[in-house]
Amino acid sequence: MASKLQKRIISALIIGPLSLLVFWIGGWPFLALVGIAFAISVHEWLNLSRKTFYFERYAAAGLIYFMLCFYSFIAMRMQFDQGFFLVMSFATTVWAGDVGAYFAGKFIGGAKLMPSISPNKTWAGLIGGMLFSGLFMFVLYGVAPLFELRLPFSSMFIAFFVGMALTIVGQAGDLLISAAKRRASIKDTSNLIPGHGGLLDRIDSLMMGALFFFIVVSLSGAA
Choose between 222 and 139: higher pLDDT. 139
pLDDT computed for residue 121 by the predictor: 87
Confidence of residue 115 (pLDDT cuts 50, 70, 90): confident
Share of the chain above pLDDT 90, in %: 57
Closest alpha carbon to 163 in 124, 129, 133:
133
Highest mean pLDDT of the ranges 43-52, 191-200, 213-222: 43-52
Residue 201 reports pLDDT greater than 50: yes
* Host H or E run for residue 33: helix 27-49
**Which tens digits make up the pLDDT trace of 146-184?**
999 999 998 999 999 999 999 999 999 999 999 999 989
CA terminus-to-terminus distance, the chain? 49
Residue 220 reports pLDDT greater than 90: no
**Which tens digits make up the pLDDT trace of 16-56?**
778 888 888 988 999 999 999 999 999 999 999 999 888 88
| Neighbouring residues of 184: CB distance < 8 A, sequence distance ≥ 6 | 48, 49, 51, 52
Residue 216 reports pLDDT greater than 90: yes
Closest alpha carbon to 170 in 198, 143, 132, 138:
132
Confidence of residue 10 (pLDDT cuts 50, 70, 90): low
Count of C-beta atoms within a 10 Å radius of residue 5: 10
Confidence of residue 12 (pLDDT cuts 50, 70, 90): low
Q: Average of pLDDT values for 98-115? A: 86
